[in-house]
Amino acid sequence: MNTLPEYTPHQLALRNGQDREEVWCAYQGVIYDVSKSRLWRTGKHYEHWAGQDLTHELADAPHTDSVFSRFSAVGKLKTSS
């Protein structure tokens, strides 16, 4: 995972399924491409929006973080330091 490119929160927000075909979301600092999921096709999955860090929203989901193993990691979320 160390070889993955870093993206800022602003760059992640552009991959929201609305502005571009890419549909990405982040979880625990890793950005995943969820474009192939029919559940994310419009950039929205229930009350969750793509292009965001979903780490704190997972507690409300009916599944565990293992769901991210279905998707390719495309980058790391750059944190401000």
Go through the domains of the chain in sequence order and give each one's CATH number: 6-77 (3.10.120.10)
Residue 7 confidence (pLDDT): 96
CB 32 within 8 A of CB 72: yes
Query: Which two tokens mark 51?
Result: 């292009």
| Cβ within 8 Å of residue 34, ≥6 positions away | 23, 24, 25, 40, 45, 50, 71
| Cα(59)–Cα(75) distance, integer angstroms | 23
Query: Which two tokens mark 45?
Result: 């999955």
Residue 62 confidence (pLDDT): 63
Residue 70 confidence (pLDDT): 92
pLDDT per residue of the chain (81 residues) written in tens, 0 to 9: 569 999 999 999 999 888 778 999 999 999 999 998 888 778 777 777 888 998 987 776 767 778 888 999 999 999 875
Instruction: State pTM to two decimals.
Output: 0.85
| Cβ within 8 Å of residue 5, ≥6 positions away | 74, 75, 76
